[in-house]
Structure 1
Amino acid sequence: MATKKTSSKEAHHATLDGEDEDATHALELLAGKIGEPPRSSLQAILAGTTDADLVSVGKTILSSRIVTDAARIYRKAWDFYQEASDEQRKRLRGFSKPLLAVAVQQALALEQLDRKLAAKSTSAGVARAAHEKAAEAAQSRAIELRDQAYDALRDAAGRDEGLRAQVDAAFGTATTSETLARGLEQTAKLLRAWLGSDDEALTARLGLANLDDSYAKELATAAKDVRNAAANATNRPADGKVTQGALDRADGINVLIMGQILRAFEGAHGIDPTIPRLVPISTRRLFNRKTKKKAGEIQPPQNGNGPQPTGDGETLSDG
């Protein structure tokens, strides 16, 4: 089995962007000509098919490939159907105008989902990069401030080894954002304690070193900034409106419907050669006719294995 596509389908989106725009326009024009499908049509088509079935197939094909083929295939189907004689239409068992309306509707819905997920991914990437940059800046500034405070407080401690030991204990490490923040907080706490000391020599040295309560506040604020920036860089709020799973399911729906339309025209062509065959291009591996299996048919799980799109037996790779 070939490799599965990556979880981010939008990686391929850019290479087909112009093609997608043309496909979307063609599908919108078709939708306007064919009209809305009857209500509950999609529910009827999906009856007996689970979301797991649809997602399993959807994972094997890029959304942009489906949309590209859908625009071309459905346009050809509609062009023929409009000019077809009553006898030719009767030969098209498995196909109808309402079915084509559902197909076009679902292809457009898929294209919209694909674009939304791509935009969401891009937006999340930009935000993540900004948060990571902010975290790096906050950590860098905090380390510089901590090192400055260490030297200044060590000098203010004078020759008192006990006071110097307090500075060393408060200093801590910067191995993580949390240990850095904790060191800054402890240093700020130590400075406040010294500022309130009865040791006149110590308080005099603090004054000479320009170490006051505002500096203690600055150290505490830097600690808070480090924690907040680290949390923003780590936490990524989930947006359940558009997910990869939803996109894979939509892919599966489109594969199911497209497969039925392809089979209908293929069967009718075998009986009446004046009826054209609809040949997939972007999705050709999925709908390969060089097999006795029915192209694109979603089958129920067998022997505990998930369903696979029937065709040439391959799972479509990103290539």
Structure 2
Amino acid sequence: MESFIRTLPKVELHVHIEGTLEPELMFELAQRNQITLPYASVEEARAAYQFEDLQSFLDMYYLGAGVLQTEQDFYDLTWAYLLRCQHDHVMHTEIFFDPQTHTERGIAFQTVMAGMTRALADGEQQLDISSRLILCFLRHLSEAAAFETLAQAMSYQEYIIGVGLDSSERGHPPEKFRRVFEKAHDAGFLTVAHAGEEGPASNIRDALSMLRVSRIDHGVQCTQDPELVRALAESQTPLTVCPLSNVKLRVFEDMADHNLVDLLRQGLCVTINSDDPAYFGGYMTDNFLAVAESFEVTKEEMAAFTTNAIRASFLPDEEKAKLQQRLDHYLQVQLHPIL
């Protein structure tokens, strides 16, 4: 199973590019930009990656993001992630980025976009990895701040396919951003939202009805509401689940307690993703392996996570078909070799 998973073609729909900042690159960029970090070494920084909840992680996450200053910094961050994608056989990725994390520090929106888009173009040309960008509003900031960020994004619709909602779920329900999402819809953006991670199942319902999202990011608390689970299965609304993240942030105490496989077997369109892999101990292959090691799953079930992700992606149908063909070919070779 391990060798099958390592080379299994994958699609990632839930990764925060700022959350791919490894300590080694953090220190390199801090030195480049003459920024002093509160850690004496890479090892000391990595040792600090122990989190009690989402907020304790976010505090570290924003500290790390502070080293990102220039277009080249954002290029280097994105390129390092794409190299991990290549290693993990990720065919396509849809990347979240948090412009407010940077514009609040005085970094221009243009600086962020220029570095990331240049790296993504190189990734498509040199690594054969397709990609899309999804701008996320920080839900702990105001509606007015979200509107301002949406206005900045209007000039970049060639690169930004959708908008999302992340950061602290508690105390910041979907309805806070209902009007922003309406304007985003009117402008032609697709929409997603983090819901049902640390917040209740009702946040999932509200994100679907109030924000009219195409996908739910996380969504694991849906099991609080059996009727919601049935509705999600019937509608095939995708859930972009992040197993290692959920355990690291104590959403589940242990991987064996996770509901991901059960939701798959109930017919929900669940996918496996890495969330903030530099902080949560693993990229895509690590997450797939963690699930396989904790549950009695078949190779077909593990491949179903990729099939679901292809279907749930924001790619045109013809590009989805090409990715599915690549997966089908892999499965044919792995599961039905010619004797």
Q: What TM-score results when the alignment is normalised by the length of structure 2?
A: 0.23
Q: Which has the higher contact order (CA 8 A, sep 6+)?
A: 1
Q: Which has the higher helix share?
A: 1
Q: Which has the higher strand share?
A: 2
Q: What TM-score results when the alignment is normalised by the length of structure 1?
A: 0.23
Larger Rg: 1
